[in-house]
Amino acid sequence: MNVWLIRTEDFEQKSLSKIEELLNAYDGPISFKCHKNIFLNSISKKGSIHPDEALIQMVNFRKLYKIDPTDFVCLYTNTRLSNNFFTHGDGFRNFIIHSADWGLYTNAGNEFPDAYLLYSNILKSFVYEDYGKMYSHMHKDSSLGCYMDLCVHKREILLKLRTADICDNCLEHIHDKHIDGRIIGQILDAFEGLRKQLLFRNRLQLETKLSRIEITPKGKFILPDYGNIELKFSPLRKSIYKLFLESKQGYTMADLLGSDSKLVKLYQSFQPNKTFNELNATIQGICDPHSMRIHEEISKINAEIVKKLGERVSVNYIISGERGEKRKINYNLIKEKTY
C-alpha cells in the first residue's frame, strides 16, 4: 500500500523529502513516496485554500496518474486552509495538511508534526468509515493527549505528539475493526518513534543516553533508542561505515587500503544488483593510495551523522582519529549492536 506525497508550489521539495524519509523509518506494509506532481497555487489565489476545491483536484490527480484506489494521497501546503483546519480529508483516502507555523511552538523541525498528522490520519481512516463519523468521535477535550483529540491550536497537536497516546476508548474502536496487525504495528511504532525523535531534538544539548545502531533487513542504518533516526548513506558509505562498526581497534588508512576484499563483500550486501567486477572496480578506486576518495567518503559519512545527531552527540558515532593514527568509532556500546 502506497501513500503519495504531493505539495503546493509554496511547499519546498526538500521539506517533502524530509517528511518522506521520516515516514519510511518505520517498517510495515505502508510505503510513502514523493510524487513529482506539483499542485499549482491557482487553488490558493485568495491567500487560502478551499479544502473542497483542493480535494476535487486530488481526485483528478488520482485519475490522471492512475493511483490505486487503496492508496492514500496527502497534499502538504504552507497556505492556510479557508476553514482554518490544520488537516482535512474527504473520507476517500485523500488528506491535506497545512504545515506552516509549527516553528512558533517547536524548534525541532516541521517534519515531526507533519509526519505525525499523516500517520494519525491514516489510522483514523482505517477505524472510521467516513469523515463525518470520524469527526463525531473526536474528543472535544483536547488535553487527553489521545490521537483523536480535536486540536484547535497547533501547540495541542505537539502535546499529542509528545504523549503519542491512544485512550482506552479509542483503543477499543481500533480493536473492533480487526485491522491488519502489521499496519497497526507500523502506525504505533511511528507514533512512539516520532515522539522519541522530537524529544531527542529538543534535548539535543542535554542528551546523555547513547543509542544502539541497528541495520534493518532492508539495509537501513537506524538508531532505535532515538526513535529510529536514520543515518542515510549510499550503499558504498554503508559498507565503509559497517566495516568500522565491526572493528574495535579501527583502521589506519594503510590498513583500510588493504581491506579491499572485506569491503567488496560488504558492498555486495548493500548493492546486490551489481556484478562482482563492477563492485570490485569501485572499491579498487576507493582504495587507491593515490586517490583521496576514501577520505572524501569518510567525511561525507561524518557530515550525515552530525546533521542528524548534532555536534555533541555525534562525537560518539563519527569515524574519528588523527592523521596517521587509527580511525575508529568511539562509542563503546557499539559492540553490543543488535545485528
Ramachandran region, residue 113 (left: φ > 0; alpha: ψ -120 to 50; beta: rest): alpha
The interface region with Zn ion, picked from 5-13, 63-71, 160-168, 195-203 by CB under 5 A, is 160-168
How would you label 147-162 residue by residue, b for 16+ Cβ within 10 Å and e otherwise?
bbbebeebebbbbbbe
Whole-number Å distance between alpha carbons of 123 and 28: 14
Residue 182 and residue 217 in contact, taking contact as beta carbons nearer than 8 Å: no
Query: Minimal distance in Å, beta carbon 156 to Zn ion?
Result: 14
Residue 222 and residue 200 in contact, taking contact as beta carbons nearer than 8 Å: no
Binding string, 168-197, against Zn ion, x = CB under 5 A? Answer: --x---------------------------
The H or E element that residue 192 is part of is helix 181-202
- Pick the binder of Zn ion from 6, 43, 148, 253 (CB under 5 A): 148
Query: Minimal distance in Å, beta carbon 7 to Zn ion?
Result: 30
Q: Which of residues 52-111 bind Zn ion (CB under 5 A)?
A: none
Q: For residues 152 and 281, which CB has a smaller minimum distance to Zn ion in the complex?
A: 152
Query: Minimal distance in Å, beta carbon 19 to Zn ion?
Result: 25
Query: Minimal distance in Å, beta carbon 166 to Zn ion?
Result: 6
Q: For residues 170 and 245, which CB has a smaller minimum distance to Zn ion in the complex?
A: 170
- Pick the binder of Zn ion from 56, 167, 199, 257 (CB under 5 A): 167
- ∠ Cα 238 240 241 (to 5°): 65
Q: For residues 77 and 142, which CB has a smaller minimum distance to Zn ion in the complex?
A: 142
146 binds Zn ion (CB under 5 A): yes
Q: For residues 3 and 146, which CB has a smaller minimum distance to Zn ion in the complex?
A: 146
Question: Would you call 199 helix, strand, or coil by DSSP?
Answer: helix
138 binds Zn ion (CB under 5 A): no
Distances (CA, A) of 213 to 20, 59, 242, 269, 300: 21, 41, 10, 18, 18
Where on the chain is the footprint of Zn ion (CB under 5 A)? 146, 148, 167, 170
